Amino acid sequence: MKQYDVLVVEDDLSLCEALCDTLEISGYRVISARNGTEALIKLELGQFKLVVSDVQMPVMDGFQLLKNMQHKYSETPVLLMTAFGTIPKAVEAMQAGASDYLIKPFDAQALVSKVADYVVANSSAANTAVNERVVQDESMKKLYALTAKVAKTDVTVLLQGESGTGKEVIARYIHQNSTYHHGPFIAVNCAAIPENMLEAMLFGYEKGAFTDAKERKIGLFELAGDGTIFLDEIGDISRTTQSKLLKVIEDRTMRRVGGIRDVPVRARIIAATSVDLEAKIKSNEFRKDLYHRLKILPLELPGLAERIEDIPLLVEAFLKAFNQTYNKKIKGITPRAMQILVEHVWEGNVRELKHTIERAVLLEEDEWLTEDDFEFESRRFRQTKKKVIATSPETSSSSFSDTLMLFVPMEQASANEVQRLLTRKVLDHVGGNKLKAAKILKISRPRLDRILRNGKSQNEK
């Protein structure tokens, strides 16, 4: 039986091809189906680590597919793709066994990140960001010990920390180790949803509440049931929504938009922020009473600059995971390359480090990762654990994931073939300028030349 990483189920041919291309360029083994019936046939013929399925499809839709999978493929996670209007149904499907959902439209990075959560993290050393085996830093050890205690309670939790420090990972850990773990885990990025949509999404609405409210819609607080609702970037919500959230926390009830009756809320609430809420209180952008209700059990996640002792262990864990994902056999990383990673200022924290190792593994053809694999545009280095200096302009926002949308469709390929295609496509994109291509890929010029030479020699065989 042939093995794949992802089964993409989507009836829109152009969208299906785009989804498959994006995942294949990222190194995943992908096959597609046009509806639920065809997907069940593909599941019978192959083995998959994840199913990514649209909700609305002819013949057999995503909900029916999920129901049919429960009999024979219940251990295969399902990621649903849904439009805003069908979010309540998607959450109901999560209660029935779906693992997660993406709200359309979404970008390539959102897709790749979600898929990695299940294909990479679940098939490797559990979740490396919440794994005491990859922790040396004393502050992180204390955080894990406190998190384990917090999970056993049912109070509201506030996670604070820079972007990329793993707040959602900690939230999922709390959910999975709590009495709420039998219910769904619903994550909401408050910063990514327009304010006029966020209120309706969280609290639901009654028929006729506004022009397009043709029927009652249940909100995420209700649909979370006895599970957990994770409100990420809570500092970005409006004062109006803040007032409603305060009522939910204090009274454990809420009211749908346009409604006249209070509805009970049973779900546990975990909030997170990467901004200074106390500063927002001073500028009258955030309610002081809500802040104090949220921070009954605050957890502060340190940035990678505060836990540099963990970098070698994280690198090792990510290397092991991506070796498995991309079917590579890289033995390790040279001391000089590790020194570069330890000294580098990781503004994107653990998330940035993870993506850097992923890119290096995908592009590497030798047995060891060397300093040539980590050519950062920014030459900023850490002098001590607590002191950081900048010796060059800000790091470019360009990353491997940002280059995904540059590419045209490709055939199913091995990781080495993906590597060569990636390099050639970037080179074409910059008009043959090898220096620019190397910078976009964040590899050295010699490494780029070597990839191109190896590709040419293989084609000549």
User: What CATH number does residue 423 fall under?
Assistant: 1.10.8.60
Distances (CA, A) of 141 to 64, 145, 146, 315, 429: 44, 6, 9, 18, 45
pLDDT of residue 123: 46
140 forms beta bridges with none
Q: Which residues contact 222 (CB under 8 A, 6 or more apart)?
A: 204, 254, 263, 265
Among 252, 278, 301, the domain boundary falls at 301
132 occurs within a structural domain? no
Using the structure block, give the residue that is written with the tokens 């209180």: 281
Q: Is residue 126 part of a domain?
A: no
297 and 322 part of one domain: no
**pLDDT in single tens digits along all 461 residues of the chain:** 677 889 999 998 888 988 988 888 777 889 999 999 999 989 988 889 899 999 888 888 888 898 888 878 888 889 888 876 556 666 666 666 777 778 777 777 778 878 877 775 444 433 444 455 567 778 888 888 899 899 999 889 999 999 889 898 899 889 888 999 888 888 888 887 888 788 888 998 888 888 777 888 888 898 888 889 999 999 999 999 999 999 999 999 999 989 989 999 999 999 999 999 999 999 999 999 999 999 888 899 999 988 888 899 899 888 988 888 778 889 999 988 998 999 888 988 988 898 889 888 888 888 899 988 887 754 454 443 333 222 222 233 333 333 333 333 333 345 556 667 777 778 877 788 887 787 777 777 777 777 787 665 555 44
Based on the fold, state whether residues 252 and 342 are members of the same structural domain. no
Is 24 part of any domain?
yes
Q: Which of 59, 92, 119 corresponds to the end of one domain?
A: 119
Q: Are 281 and 322 within one domain?
A: no
The answer to whether residues 38 and 114 belong to one domain is yes
Q: How many residues does the chain have?
A: 461
- Domain boundary, last residue among 88, 119, 150: 119
Alpha-carbon torsion angle 285, 289, 294, 300, nearest 10: 60
Query: Do 302 and 139 meet the contact criterion of CB atoms below 8 Å apart?
Result: yes
The whole-angstrom separation of Cα 28 and Cα 310 is 28
Q: Give yes or no for a contact between 440 and 403, defined as CB atoms under 8 angstroms apart.
A: yes
**Interatomic CA distance for residues 353 and 372, integer angstroms:** 16
The identity of residue 417, as a single letter, is E
In a domain, residue 392? The reply is yes
The domain containing residue 174 runs over which residues?
A: 138-301
Please tell me the total count of domains within the chain.
3
Q: Is residue 453 part of a domain?
A: yes
